[in-house]
Amino acid sequence: MNLKEYQGKDIFRDNGISVLAGFVVSRADSIGSKINSLSGEELVVKAQVLTGGRGKAGGIKIVKRSRVQDAVSELIGKDIKGFRIKEVLVEEKAAVLKEIYVSLAVNRVEKCLSLILCMEGGIDIEEISAKSPEKIIKAPIRGKDGLSHIDALCKDSIGVLGLEPGAAVKLADIIRKMHSIAVRYDAELVEINPLALTGHGFAALDAKLVIDDNALFRHPEFASGKEESLTDIEKEANKFGIQYVELDGDIAIIGNGAGLVMATLDVLHHYGGKPANFLDVGGGASVEVMEKSLELCMMKKPRGIFINIFGGITRCDFIAQGIVDFVGRKAIDVPLAVRMIGTNEQEGRRILEGKGISSLSSMEECAKKIVELAGSL
């Protein structure tokens, strides 16, 4: 489960990591005298939503003190990537000398936490990793003994990160505190992007904490936020017991079984497509579940829909009937690519063909087809 920025910063502050002074409001008229506690002629107004890319979406504003209330009014109620802005963080603006990226993330291959450092902060770490891997330092931290190497690692990284020796010592201390937070809060990710070097030392300008859902029973103070971490479509899917995760692409995915759906995502990506979602109808899906699944996918306004069914408990004729019933009720203006094999496969194909919908038996051919069709729109 993701925490909001201000929740992460509260944890940072409590564990000795410096953050900027600020306050959270849910209404513009509740600012009152709170703004008097902040210094500087310009302040930063930041939407508190559980998604990245807030800056590009207009969710972060740097404004004059006199414009803070207006900026808060402009943000409250706005939608960013399917998340409604209900709270806004107002904080001081830092005089930044240098920004770096630092995070601790669960490394499932090494079965430990891994440290990631980058000489550039405030950036998309995945993009930097792909284009300029030499700018990134990675190191596994295996248990408490792994922390003993942090001081040496930071000192060795002075040239890459562009830090003074004294700053490297302070960075090592911050990493140790991040490790303590990760262990205490069962975090899958503790990220500061960017960690800024100012005239007063380091300060976390952002905070991202992702807590393992399975450990929420140990952190009841955050359990109520689980529902808020879902997009509107994910909440709708939960009502019907449909496993749905919203993604950033434009080709919707429907499959049966988590493993098959994940394989479908990979195959689609291999052929140049970008998945808009993960949707698992589950075993033994009914006609009604298939119809609802298509409805959920269309809410994202995709450029195409890739349906991949391996019939075992799930019957292909039920899936096909759900498709034709939905198409009969709703005008779908995007292409469908259907791959069905298994239980009642021939009957399913007959139902689809009766409505002019073709199906394929190859997942790869189906992936190539939907990428081509979606790309032609």
pLDDT tens profile 271-302? 999 999 999 999 899 999 999 999 999 999 99
**What's the mean per-residue pLDDT of the chain?**
91
pLDDT at 377: 66
pLDDT, tens only, 42-74: 999 999 998 888 888 899 999 999 999 999 999
User: Closest Cα to residue 98, out of 208, 173, 194, 206?
Assistant: 194
How would DSSP label each residue in 203-222? EES--EEEE-GGGGGG-HHH
CB 162 within 8 A of CB 119: yes
Could you tell me the domains of the chain?
21-92 (3.30.1490.20), 96-223 (3.30.470.20), 230-375 (3.40.50.261)
pLDDT at 145: 64
Q: Report angle CA 155, 143, 194 to the nearest 5 degrees.
A: 50
Mean pLDDT of 91-98: 94
Residues of the chain above pLDDT 90, percent: 71
b or e along 3-29 (b: 16 or more beta carbons within 10 Å of the residue's beta carbon)?
bbbbbbbebbeeeebbbbebbbbeebe
